[in-house]
Amino acid sequence: MEEEVAARLLERISFRTSSADDGTELAEAVHAAEDRLALDAGVTLGDVRRLLYLSVPPQAVEDMVGMLDRVDLTDRARLVVEKPFGTDLATARELDAVLGSAFSESDIFRIDHFIGKEAVQNLLALRFANGLFEPAWNRHSIESVQIDVPEKLTVEGRGSFYEGTGCLRDMVTTHLCQLLGFVAIEDPHAFREGAIRAAKSAAFAAVRPLDPQRVVFGQYDGYRDEPDVAPDSDVETFVAIEVWIDNDRWRGVPFYLRTGKAMAEGRRTITIRFTDPRHRWLKPAGGAAAQPNELVIELTDQPRIAIDVRAKRPGPDMALVEGVFRLDLAYDAPDAGPLEAYERLLLDVMRGDRTLFTSAAEVERLWEVCQPVLDDRPPVQSYPKGVVGTAGRARPPRGRLAARQPPARPRPAGLTRDRAGCRPQVSAGSTPPTG
């Protein structure tokens, strides 16, 4: 940021402490800022809008909203609410009722910064603007979808928050499920609030409620030694789940969602694995088994996309060699000027655009999907810091235990590395379990 711009911004910033019991000083500071803005802009006070941002635990929202309402800060206001949106289905519904008691739904912005990332929005452009991908974006061409969000950091002073939340509530019901929605949606036909929300809601409606027997929970060694963590805590810091979507496009295609703390490295990756074309007369040089083609999307601030391909190796024999097509949007569009996720989303709040925000219906449906795991939690398995990581691309073993029945509970193999030495796996069958 330029110094002159930063200076003008900083001189407008003030700080006040407040509590759910007394918001008087906060209200006075807001009124003073509004008067100054109205005078500087030459507008009436009624033209000044308020942006309220709540980043508090779900159990604190009711008292905070009540305080804001009592001191009349809810007038002319848009409310931004950070996840988690409740801790289960019942509390999510209670939270929605609390928000609705003081704000209209059109003024509530449930924020998930993953959706604000350029790379996530680019999923829509990549798929629907390219004839190369959309015809193959279905169960006939795709073998599996993997969504991996490992984090290198630990809970790092957030022990109290994590004890009341855990990885499933913190990451899966929000970030990872939203990524799943963007991968799985049907053509929304427009990039606007109603169209995008309707398409995501339809996709989430087809998601089968999770089977606790197809979920792995893990906890990194040393978590119980973190500040504000119980010495006998069974809170999960790693989750791997198997998701099925029961519609014509995705029936029979497993989605693998994995996230955890204290991993070897931090990444945000979506891997679309395509089915094997099964032309057995075409073999890699050396006779090894050919690997499936994969489309790998790195959800970094500077999006990168890679596509595995096979071609003939130069020489007299018909032998295959694997190559990679890469698209580096930061390099190919150097003057584009992407916004950081929160920048984009806060700008949308000021514009009143809720296209990239989560609806109440989405929140409720995702809790319905995850509720079976909350009701029947898998056992928590321990893992060393930095061992279960994502040093390379996820490649689940071929066949995926096709000849065997799913285990009663995911085995410790759910926390082992795959054959590329990379990601934790959920042991799964090649066809969806019927239970």
CA angle 141, 144, 145 (to 5 degrees): 110
Q: Which of 113, 140, 175, 279 is catalytic?
A: 175
Distance of CA 179 to CAs 87, 170, 266, Å?
Answer: 20, 14, 17
Distance CA 431, CA 435 (A): 12
10 Å Cβ neighbour count for 162? 23
Q: Where are the alpha helices (DSSP H) in 43-165?
A: 58-70, 89-102, 118-128, 159-163
Alpha carbons 293 and 277: distance in angstroms, whole number: 9
Residue 2 to residue 273: CA distance in whole angstroms = 44
Can you tell me the distance from the alpha carbon of 168 to that of 160, in angstroms, rounded to the nearest whole number? 16
Largest CA distance in the chain: 83
434: exposed, middle or buried (C-beta count within 10 Å: 0-12, 13-18, 19+)?
exposed
Whether 113 is catalytic is no
H or E element that contains 367: helix 360-375
- Enter the DSSP assignment of 91: H
DSSP β-ladder status, 304-312 and 319-328: antiparallel
Residues catalogued as catalytic:
175
